[in-house]
Amino acid sequence: MSSSPSETEAAVETEPQAHPLQEYADEVAGAVGGTAEVQFDTIKVSVSNDSWVDAHLTARDRFGLVFFSWLSAIDWSNQVEVGDPLSDEVEERLELLSALGDITEGRMVTLSTDLDPETPVIPSLVEVYAGANWHEREAHEMFGIDFLGHPNLAHLYLPDGFLGHPLRKSFPLLTREVKPWPGKVDVEAMPEKPSKDEPSTENPES
C-alpha cells in the first residue's frame, strides 16, 4: 500500500507515516466536534451524546454520507458471562456505533458515542436516516438502549415479553448453561490410536 500523503496540508505532522485516510478522518472529526481514529482502514469518529444527531446531520449534508449502513453497539464490560473476558480492565460502557457511507467514492465513517450501561438513552436518528428505524429497534432489544423519539420501539426479532438483552455481555448463552460446548474436551480416544489398557465398550463384538 502506497501511503505517502503528498498533497496533505500538513494537518497532522506527529507521525511520519500517517494513514491515507487520517486527513479525511480529521476533517470529519473537526466538523462534527469529535475525535478521529483510523484503525485498519476503518475511520471511527467519537462524539459526545449531545452531538449525536447533529453529527449525523453534518455527516449527511456536508460530507455527502447519505448511505446508512448499520447501527449497533459494543458492550465493554469487565464481567463477561459468555466468551473470553477482556485482557485489560476497561471503563464499563456501551459503545454505540453507526456506519455511514457515500454512494460515489466509497468513503465510510463510523460514528461512535459512549453510553452509560445502566440507563442508556440517546435521541433517535430516524429523522435523519429513515433506515435507522429497524437498526435502532434491534439495538433496543439486544442492548436495552432507549432511542428517544423513535416511532415504534417494539421488539424486532425477539418475542414480546422477552426479558433481558441478549447481546449484553452479562446475558448468559442459555444452551451453554444447559449443556457444555461438546467440542471443548475430546472425551473419546482418537480412532487411529485405540488405547490398549481399556477395552472398547462401543463395539463389544469386535
Partner 1 sequence: MTIDSATMRHLSEAQVSVELETEDMTLNIGPQHPSTHGVLRLVAKIDGERAYDVQPVIGYMHRGYEKICEVRSYPQITTIVNRIDWVSGYANEIPFIVAAEKLMEVEVPPRAQYIRLVLTEMARISSHLVFMASYPLELGAATPLFFALRERERVLELLESVTGGRFHPNFNRIGGVKPAAGAGPTQKKTTQDLPSDFLSETMDAMEHMFKICDELEDLVAGNEIILARTRGVGKVPVEVAAAYGLSGPNLRASGAAFDLRKIEHYLPYDDFEFDVVTGTNGDCWDRWYCRLQEIRESAKIIQQAIDGIPSGDLQAKVPKMIKVPKGETYVRAENPKGEMGYYLVSDGNLGPYRLKIRSASFSNLSILPWALEGVLVPDIIAIMGSLDFVLGDVDR
> Does the footprint of partner 1 cover residue 41 (CB under 8 A)?
yes
Closest CB to partner 1 among residues 32, 133: 133
> Does the footprint of partner 1 cover residue 5 (CB under 8 A)?
no
> Does the footprint of partner 1 cover residue 62 (CB under 8 A)?
no
> Does the footprint of partner 1 cover residue 181 (CB under 8 A)?
yes
Calpha distance 150→10 (Å, rounded): 42
Closest CB to partner 1 among residues 52, 204: 52
Nearest in space to 130 (alpha carbons), one of 74, 181, 71: 71
- Part of the chain binding partner 1 (CB under 8 A), chosen from 47-55, 100-108, 116-124, 187-195: 100-108
> Does the footprint of partner 1 cover residue 161 (CB under 8 A)?
no
Which of 17, 79, 87, 206 lies at the binding interface for partner 1 (CB under 8 A)?
87
* C-alpha atoms less than 13 angstroms from C-alpha of 140 in its C-beta half-sphere: 23
Calpha distance 150→194 (Å, rounded): 62
Closest CB to partner 1 among residues 153, 158: 158
Q: What are phi and psi of 37, to 5 degrees?
A: -145, 135
Task: Work out how close the CB of 157 gets to partner 1 at its nearest, in angstroms, rounded to a whole number.
Answer: 4
Which of 16, 83, 182, 191 lies at the binding interface for partner 1 (CB under 8 A)?
83
In angstroms and rounded to an integer, the radius of gyration of the C-alpha atoms of the chain is: 24
Write the DSSP string, 72-137.
EEEEE-SS-SSSPPPSS----EEEEEEEEE-SSS--EEEEEEEE-SSS-EEE--TTT-TTHHHHHH
Give the number of residues written for the chain: 206
Q: Rule CB under 8 A: which residues touch partner 1? A: 39-42, 44, 66-70, 72, 74-75, 82-84, 86-87, 97, 99, 103-106, 108, 110, 129-131, 133-134, 142, 155-159, 166-167, 171, 173, 176, 181
